[in-house]
Amino acid sequence: MRAIEYAAPTSVAEAVTLLQRGGETARPLAGGTDLIVMAREYRRDVSLMVDVKRIPELMELSYDPQRGLHLGAAVPCYRIYEDPQVQRLYPALVDSAALIGGIQIQNRASIGGNLCNASPAADSIPTLIVLGAVCHIAGPGGERTVPVEQFCTGPGRTVLAPGELLVWIEIPPPAPRSGARFLRFIPRNEMDIAVANAAVAVTLDETRRRIAHARVAVGAVAPTPLLVEDAGRVLAGAPLEPEAWEPAIEAVRAATRPITDMRGSAAQRRHLAGVLVRRALEGAIARARES
């Protein structure tokens, strides 16, 4: 068994230095619910684990009416779905956080870790995409921001360079008359990997009879979670009758690039993507009507 070093920095600068010195086999450790398993099974080469839970910026969860939600990359899931402001303003984020693993895992696992693991089937990423979330990254070259829809580059791969660290995620404040919903399909009732998942966010016009703006994202149907921009464009201006949404559903199915594996066929995943988007759209509209 290979020895793995451990470090617990208390600042972003210290963490970046450790990651830079450790090179490509140095990994940030937030909850460790994915990383530790991968290292133990030799599916990821790890020489140094940099525990980031002692860094204040990565553990901050706060809301500002002008800037929106500040979600530290290491904030555990239970803090998200138990937070009253998140429950009220970002219920779709609660949809996702409450589905990542079981209760014990949610005590450690974080949205930031789920994002950095970059699974095509991740339960947080479609929601972050439709909410317009932005990643704040620190590294040897300074700080930079990346929209969540551009963060994952392939299964298990992200835009993070050696020495870089996801510090926090910024989610804009919800617009008036807006709502979002996340759904997934799994073979079992809990603690399983999605065969397909989807998130939709909508803003209604002043009459509350039409969709003024929409964002649609799907997961587990391509190498990375997808923002389906064509579906959003088709939905803009559409009435709230389900029959008017069919062009958007078709745009979703056309955008998918699913595979066939032990969890489901490509045809099943493509079909499920459309079904889930339709249902998520219904849920997002219901929430928008209540806002």
Q: Residue 279: give its domain's CATH number.
A: 3.30.390.50
> Residue 124: its pLDDT value, please?
97
Does residue 9 share a domain with residue 115? Answer: no
> Residue 284: its pLDDT value, please?
98
Does residue 269 share a domain with residue 196? Answer: yes
> Residue 282: its pLDDT value, please?
98
Q: What distance in Å separates the CA atoms of residue 157 and residue 12, rounded to the nearest whole number?
A: 22
> Residue 189: its pLDDT value, please?
65
Neighbours of 69 (CB within 10 A): 24
SS3 track for the chain: CCCCEEECCCCHHHHHHHHHHHHHHEEEECCCCCHHHHHHCCCCCCCEEEECCCCHHHHCEEEECCCEEEEECCCEHHHHHCCHHHHHHCHHHHHHHCCCCCHHHHCCCEHHHHHHHCCCCCCCHHHHHHCCCEEEEEECCEEEEEEHHHCEEECCEECCCCCCEEEEEEECCCCCCEEEEEEEECCCCCCCCCCEEEEEEEEECCCCCEEEEEEEEEECCCCCCEECHHHHHHHCCCECCHHHHHHHHHHHHHHCCCCCECCECHHHHHHHHHHHHHHHHHHHHHHHHHC
> Residue 18: its pLDDT value, please?
96
pLDDT tens by residue, 175-192: 999 999 999 999 876 667
Q: What is the CATH number of the domain that holds 136?
A: 3.30.465.10
Of 6 and 31, the one with more pLDDT: 6
Does residue 152 share a domain with residue 73? Answer: yes
Domains contained in the chain, number: 3
- Which of 116, 136, 171 is the endpoint of a domain? 171
Give me the mean pLDDT over the 33-60 stretch.
87
Give me the mean pLDDT over the 14-25 stretch.
94
Place of tokens 């009253």: 84
pLDDT tens by residue, 199-215: 999 999 999 999 999 99
Does residue 191 share a domain with residue 164? Answer: no
| CA dihedral for 30, 53, 103, 105, sign (positive or negative) | positive
Q: What distance in Å separates the CA atoms of residue 251 and residue 231, rounded to the nearest whole number?
A: 5
Does residue 217 share a domain with residue 139? Answer: no
Of 24 and 270, the one with more pLDDT: 270
Give me the mean pLDDT over the 262-282 stretch.
96
> Residue 190: its pLDDT value, please?
62
Does residue 268 share a domain with residue 190? Answer: yes
> 24: pLDDT confidence band, cut at 50, 70 and 90?
confident
Residue 210 domain boundaries: 178-290
**Letter for the amino acid at 260?**
T
Among the ranges given (42-51, 124-133, 137-146), the one the predictor scored with the smallest mean pLDDT: 42-51
Among the ranges given (75-84, 95-104, 216-225), the one the predictor scored with the smallest mean pLDDT: 95-104
The residues with which 171 forms a beta bridge, in sequence order, are: 69
Q: What is the CATH number of the domain that holds 31?
A: 3.30.43.10
Share the mean pLDDT of the chain. Answer: 94
Does residue 12 share a domain with residue 111? Answer: no
pLDDT tens by residue, 162-172: 999 999 999 99
> Residue 185: its pLDDT value, please?
96
The residues with which 178 forms a beta bridge, in sequence order, are: 203
Give me the mean pLDDT over the 257-261 stretch.
96
> 118: pLDDT confidence band, cut at 50, 70 and 90?
very high
pLDDT tens by residue, 53-99: 999 999 999 999 999 999 999 999 999 999 999 999 999 999 999 99
Decide if pLDDT at 2 tops 80: no
Is beta strand 152-154 parallel, antiparallel or unpaired with respect to 142-147? unpaired
- Which of 110, 138, 171 is the endpoint of a domain? 171
Give me the mean pLDDT over the 218-225 stretch.
98
Query: How large is the C-alpha radius of gyration of the chain?
Result: 19
Percent of residues, the chain, with pLDDT higher than 90 = 85
Decide if pLDDT at 102 tops 90: no
Decide if pLDDT at 1 tops 60: no
Place of tokens 């979670």: 225
